[in-house]
Amino acid sequence: MRVPMIAGNWKMNTTIGEAAELVNEMRQGLDAIDNVDKVICPPFVSLAAVRGLIEGSSIKLGAQNMYFEEKGAYTGEISPAMIADLCEFVIIGHSERRQYFNETGDIVNQKVQAALKVGLKPILCVGEKLDENEAGRTKEVVTEQLRSSLAGIDYLGGLIIAYEPVWAIGTGRAATGRQANDTIGLIRHNISELYDEKIAQDLHILYGGSVTADNATEFMQQPEIDGALVGGASLKAGQFLSIVRQTSEIR
Ligand code: PEP
């Protein structure tokens, strides 16, 4: 049995004070739900403060990105060890990183390797763009992204995959439960080919893309979907709590 996970990606939102307020609003409610893994991913600058606020609770912490080099003259970058000091998880290869910061499959691969090396659990994001989806290329694109991201990696550690169709992120146009379930099934199949069936069956694969309190149930009812990576709705305590609650009731 895979324990479901709901992870909130706060993106470039919240000052330290606002992050603290948001955590304080949701901490008690989230902590009361124990059959779902709850992860929040605030901006780098709030990680230390948020970590203090969730100490002793069942809420887990993730970062939104990291650099793959260990240390050195990389002004403005954050190393894997710096993240591992504070967090259990790190989002890698989010489509906004690929789109606005030119992260290629090779960079994503190096980041996954570097995260695993320091014991972080990468939340690896893959997903097709709208034109690729409309051209019927979803399967091909997702398979290629997955294989390039995991090239040369023998041990997946606590890696999690998030299937996030780019056309569904922040658009209010979510995939259907069935679409997401089919592609996540394909990802699991790829993992069984690259590794083995046991690893594939144990792997957590999330759906992400305009998940809200109104459509969460549709995704959580799907057998292949192990939870959600939530952007916009994770910035509203009531919405995020409702998504976690619905997940807890279904599983
Ligand atoms: C995301 O940022 O990973 C995401 C899925 O965003 P949203 O839920 O806002 O579509």
Measure the CA–CA gap between 215 and 243, rounded to whole angstroms.
9
Answer yes or no: is the C-beta of 243 below 6 A from any ligand 1 atom.
no
Q: Give the amino acid at 66.
A: M
Q: Cα 86–150–64 angle (5° rounding)?
A: 30
Give the confidence band of 30 by pLDDT, cuts at 50, 70, 90: very high
Answer yes or no: is the C-beta of 210 below 6 A from any ligand 1 atom.
yes
Q: Is 189 a catalytic residue?
A: no
Q: How far is the CA of 26 from the centre of ligand 1 (A)?
A: 19
Q: List, in order, residues 6 or more apart from 236 with CB less than 8 Å away.
A: none
Enclosing H/E stretch for 7: strand 5-9
Measure the CA–CA gap between 101 and 52, rounded to whole angstroms.
30
Note the pLDDT of residue 194: 97
Cross-strand pairs, 90: 63, 122
Measure the CA–CA gap between 175 and 126, rounded to whole angstroms.
14
**Quick one: which atom of ligand 1 is closest to the CA of 210?**
10
Answer yes or no: is the C-beta of 239 below 6 A from any ligand 1 atom.
no
Q: Are 247 and 36 in contact (CB under 8 A)?
A: yes
Measure the CA–CA gap between 227 and 243, rounded to whole angstroms.
10
Q: Which of 64, 230, 234, 243 to mutate to test the pocket of ligand 1 (most atoms within 8 A of CB)?
A: 230
| Minimum CA distance residue for ligand 1 atom 2 | 231
End-to-end CA distance of the chain: 10
Q: Is 132 a catalytic residue?
A: no
Q: List, in order, residues 6 or more apart from 17 with CB less than 8 Å away.
A: none
Distances (CA, A) of 129 to 71, 138, 141: 33, 8, 9
At 227, is the secondary structure helix, strand, or coil?
strand
Answer yes or no: is the C-beta of 231 below 6 A from any ligand 1 atom.
yes
Model confidence pLDDT, tens digit, residues 129-171: 999 999 999 999 999 999 999 999 999 999 999 999 999 999 9
Tell me the angle at which helices 16-31 and 47-54 cross, rounded to the nearest 10 degrees: 30
Give the confidence band of 202 by pLDDT, cuts at 50, 70, 90: very high
**Do the bridges between strand 89-92 and strand 59-63 make them parallel or antiparallel, or are there none, so unpaired?**
parallel
Q: What is the percent of the chain with per-residue pLDDT over 90, rounded to a whole number?
A: 99
- Catalytic pick from 96, 103, 164, 218? 164
Measure the CA–CA gap between 32 and 29, rounded to whole angstroms.
5
Answer yes or no: is the C-beta of 8 below 6 A from any ligand 1 atom.
no
Measure the CA–CA gap between 95 and 231, rounded to whole angstroms.
12
**Does the pLDDT of residue 251 top 90, yes or no?**
no
**Quick one: which atom of ligand 1 is closest to the CA of 164?**
5
At 59, is the secondary structure helix, strand, or coil?
strand
**Quick one: which atom of ligand 1 is closest to the CA of 162?**
3
Note the pLDDT of residue 177: 98
- Quick one: tokens of 247? 């997940």
Q: What is the percent of the chain with per-residue pLDDT over 70, rounded to a whole number?
A: 100
Answer yes or no: is the C-beta of 234 below 6 A from any ligand 1 atom.
no
